[in-house]
Structures are given as C-alpha cells and as structure tokens.
C-alpha cells in the first residue's frame, strides 16, 4: 500500500509543498494518539479560557493548536500561519513560500463524548509584491494550492487534494503511517441525505426554511422522494460522509445573533472543504455565490455554507435565487 509522501512524489508535487504536508501529518499523528488515549491522556474537559471566537476551549484544542503552530513555524517552507484559535496570524522567522490556515480541532464538543473530531487545513502560496501581514491570507479559496482534513474517528484518516484528485489515507496505527486507501473520491450527483442543525429552524431565513420543508415532505412533497437526516456536530465528520457517499451539508444564515449571522469560518472551514468537495465532483456555495470565489476581508470571517452532491446543492441554491440575501 502506498504511503502519503511517496504518493505525492509520484505525481510531481513540489518537495516544498510535500514538506508542509509532512509537517501537518506529523502533528496529526500526535493529535490522533492523544485523542485515542481519551481520558488517559488527562486532556479532556474545558480550560477556563475563552478563545477568540468566544467559545469555551477544550484542553485538546489548545494542545492541537500548539502542536500545529510550533511544528509549522519551524518548517523552512512556511512563512506564516493563521489559526481559528489565534487572534492574529503568526509569522515564522523562516521565509518559506507557503501560508497555512487551520482549524486545529473542529467539532471539539465531541471530545468529551468520544465522537469524531478533525483538523482542517488550507495551504496558500505566499503572495509576491506588497502584501504583508494578514492581507497575505486574504485570498479566495480557489487560490489554495492544497487543502485537506484529518478525521479522528474509529480510524484516523487524512483526505487531501493538491489541486488534482481527492485521496484518502488511513493511519495504520501499527506502523504509524498514513496509507492510501482510496485513490479518488467521487461524490454522486444526487442524494437522499441532508445535514443541518434542525434545532435552529425557527431562526432560519426563507430560502433554507422552504428548502428543508420540501425535503421533509418526502414522497408526498415536490421532491417526490424520502430524505434521511444526519448531524455530527463536527463539520469534518459530516463532510467525510459526503466525500464517501454523497449528501448535502448546510450551516445557513440565521437571525439568532445579528452580530454573528453565520457560524462557520471561511478560511479555516468553508474554503478548504469547498476545494475538496469540488475536486471530488460536488458543489459548494454560500447560497448566492461559489464559496471558492469569495475573497475574505478578515481572517476570522464567517460565511453561509451549502455543500455536497452537485444536483442537491443546485436545488438548494435555486431556493436562494427566489429570496433576496438577508442582511
Ligand atoms: P466547534 O469546533 O467549535 O465545536 O464547532 C464545530 C462547528 O463549527 C462545525 O464543525 C459543526 O458543523 C458546527 O460547529 C456544529 O454546530 P452546532 O453547535 O450548531 O451543532
């Protein structure tokens, strides 16, 4: 079975990019080990600190963030990192060619219940010319040179694209190597599965309310087929299901808090997942435009997300064309 790095070498990925991905896999193996130790690792539960996003951090978020940050900043090929858990970007003393944005531990509320969590990463080229500081990171998702996630579930898997196919590597715990277990993810165009946090229904806008209402009517409604629902409370796990067998995932605009109408972060969650989904044949939109076309204005920007099986995403976007974008 092919290992991660030789697989990348075989398709002419540059050594500098391979080295960045190697650093991420080293951190991921360590995070995986600690997660699989569970309570034995003494890292479960919340710290007293609140992170930048105003959510209670779990100790393992801190550990995962520190690991990725330290290792990436030591890499000669990384110029700067942006993390969901950091207020600002951190510039490396090295003058590498790449910028890495990451969510160190997505779905952290699942840690305490032994549910799936993940690391999401996005690799950008450092822009030439004038750009410096945070503005270096403000590139649209379509500019990513690589994106991926590691899902820590019953097995630890890395799903990765360097702009070509989407490959899945499974961590062989006996030898400590990620081995290629799926050459090419292909998301079916149609689906009968959707993922949304239904408990937010009363807060949604008209487009999503009407779309979901039609799905729920099943065979008796306009869609004339029955749908099933899944929700992991960890985007990595929901996207992994979609990469594996199709489906639709959405975290839409909602009116609960006008200062924070979206939950998911563009640079750490939406853009890397959108690249993977598109490269696997699916679609990804905010309801009004392709997610990969959005140019971030802030490193911690949040966005509406609809992604998955192409036909289903198009259907959902159709409902948005009937209703103006909420403010
Ligand atoms: P955390 O990483 O802060 O736990 O958030 C996870 C997440 O951003 C995303 O992975 C999930 O899809 C979503 O939040 C779950 O949100 P709900 O709390 O609405 O289930």
> For residue 72, which of 4, 21, 140, 137 has the smallest C-alpha distance?
21
pLDDT value of residue 57: 54
pLDDT value of residue 55: 58
Rounded CA gap, 1 and 68, in Å? 27
Ligand 1 centroid to Cα of residue 219, in Å, is: 30
pLDDT value of residue 95: 84
CB of 47 sitting under 6 A from ligand 1: no
Q: Residue whose CA is closest, atom 13 of ligand 1?
A: 233
Q: Residue whose CA is closest, atom 15 of ligand 1?
A: 233
Please check whether residues 151 and 204 belong to one and the same domain: no
What is the per-residue DSSP string for 53-75?
TSSEEEHHHHHHHHHHHHHHHH-
Show the domain range for 74: 4-182
Does residue 187 lie within any of the structural domains? no
Q: Residue whose CA is closest, atom 4 of ligand 1?
A: 107
pLDDT value of residue 47: 53
Ligand 1 centroid to Cα of residue 237, in Å, is: 11
Please check whether residues 275 and 249 belong to one and the same domain: yes
pLDDT in tens, the chain (327 residues): 899 999 999 999 999 999 999 999 999 999 999 999 887 766 555 454 555 565 555 588 899 999 999 999 999 999 999 999 999 999 999 889 999 999 999 999 999 899 999 999 999 999 988 788 999 999 999 999 999 999 999 999 999 999 999 999 999 999 999 999 999 999 999 999 999 999 999 999 999 999 999 999 999 999 999 999 999 999 999 999 999 999 999 999 999 998 999 999 999 999 999 999 999 999 999 999 999 999 999 999 999 999 999 999 999 999 999 988 887
- Residue 267, domain CATH: 3.40.190.80
CB of 270 sitting under 6 A from ligand 1: no
pLDDT value of residue 50: 57
CB of 117 sitting under 6 A from ligand 1: no
Rounded CA gap, 194 and 192, in Å? 7
Does residue 146 lie within any of the structural domains? yes
- Best residue among 54, 64, 84, 107 to mutate for probing ligand 1, ranked by most atoms within 8 Å of CB: 107
Does residue 14 lie within any of the structural domains? yes
Rounded CA gap, 325 and 205, in Å? 9
Ligand 1 centroid to Cα of residue 127, in Å, is: 31
Does residue 188 lie within any of the structural domains? no
Crossing angle, helix 15-37 and helix 59-74, to 10 degrees?
160
Please check whether residues 304 and 228 belong to one and the same domain: yes
Does residue 51 lie within any of the structural domains? yes
Rounded CA gap, 246 and 114, in Å? 24
Ligand 1 centroid to Cα of residue 59, in Å, is: 17
- Best residue among 263, 266, 269, 300 to mutate for probing ligand 1, ranked by most atoms within 8 Å of CB: 263
Please check whether residues 262 and 307 belong to one and the same domain: yes
Rounded CA gap, 179 and 201, in Å? 41
Rounded CA gap, 114 and 124, in Å? 32
> For residue 84, which of 303, 269, 295, 306 has the smallest C-alpha distance?
269
pLDDT value of residue 37: 86
Please check whether residues 205 and 305 belong to one and the same domain: yes
Please check whether residues 104 and 20 belong to one and the same domain: yes
pLDDT value of residue 325: 83
Does residue 106 lie within any of the structural domains? yes
Q: Where are the beta strands (DSSP E) in 13-145?
A: 46-50, 56-58, 78-83, 90-91, 98-106, 117-125
pLDDT value of residue 324: 81
Please check whether residues 79 and 44 belong to one and the same domain: yes
β-pair partners for 168: 159, 182
Does residue 327 lie within any of the structural domains? no
Please check whether residues 175 and 242 belong to one and the same domain: no
Question: How many Cα atoms are found within 13 Å in the side-chain-facing hemisphere of 163?
Answer: 14
pTM of the model: 0.95
Rounded CA gap, 201 and 14, in Å? 46
Please check whether residues 40 and 134 belong to one and the same domain: yes
Cα-based distances in Å from 316 to 191, 203, 294: 12, 18, 19
Per-residue exposure over 234-268, b if at least 16 CB sit within 10 Å of its own CB, e if not: bbbbbbbbbbeebbbbbbbbbeeeeeebbbbbbbb
Could you give the number of structural domains in the chain?
2
Angle at 291 between CA 223 and CA 238, to 5 degrees: 60
Ligand 1 centroid to Cα of residue 254, in Å, is: 14
Of the residues 134, 150, 182, which one is the last residue of a structural domain?
A: 182
Does residue 210 lie within any of the structural domains? yes
């Amino acid at each position: 079975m092919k290992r991660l790095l030789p697989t990348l070498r075989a398709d002419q990925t540059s050594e500098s990019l391979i080295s960045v991905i190697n650093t991420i896999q080293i951190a991921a193996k360590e995070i995986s080990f600690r997660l699989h130790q569970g309570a034995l690792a003494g890292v479960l539960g919340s710290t007293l600190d609140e992170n930048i996003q105003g959510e209670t951090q779990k100790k393992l978020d801190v550990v995962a963030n520190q690991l990725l940050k330290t290792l990436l900043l030591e890499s000669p090929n990384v110029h700067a990192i942006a993390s969901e858990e950091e207020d600002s970007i951190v510039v490396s003393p090295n003058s590498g060619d790449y910028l890495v944005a990451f969510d160190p531990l997505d779905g952290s509320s699942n840690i305490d219940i032994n549910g799936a969590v993940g690391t999401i990463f996005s690799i950008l080229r450092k822009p030439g010319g004038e750009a410096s500081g945070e503005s270096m990171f403000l590139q649209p998702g379509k500019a990513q040179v690589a994106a991926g996630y590691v899902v820590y579930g019953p097995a630890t898997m890395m799903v990765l694209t360097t702009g070509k196919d989407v490959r899945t590597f499974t961590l062989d715990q006996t030898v400590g190597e990620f081995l290629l277990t799926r050459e090419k993810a292909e998301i079916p165009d149609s689906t009968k599965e959707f993922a949304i946090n239904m408990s937010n229904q009363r807060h949604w806008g008209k487009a999503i309310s009407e779309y979901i209402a039609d799905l729920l009517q099943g065979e008796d409604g306009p869609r004339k087929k029955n749908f099933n629902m899944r929700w992991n409370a960890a985007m990595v796990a929901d996207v992994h299901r979609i990469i594996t067998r199709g489906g639709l995932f959405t975290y839409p605009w909602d009116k609960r808090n006008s200062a924070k109408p979206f939950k998911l972060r563009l640079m750490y969650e939406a853009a890397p997942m959108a690249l993977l989904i598109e490269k696997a044949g699916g679609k990804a939109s905010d309801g009004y435009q392709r997610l990969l076309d959005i140019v971030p204005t802030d490193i911690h920007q949040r966005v509406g997300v609809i992604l998955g099986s192409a036909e289903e995403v198009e259907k959902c976007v159709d409902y948005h064309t009937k209703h103006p974008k909420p403010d």
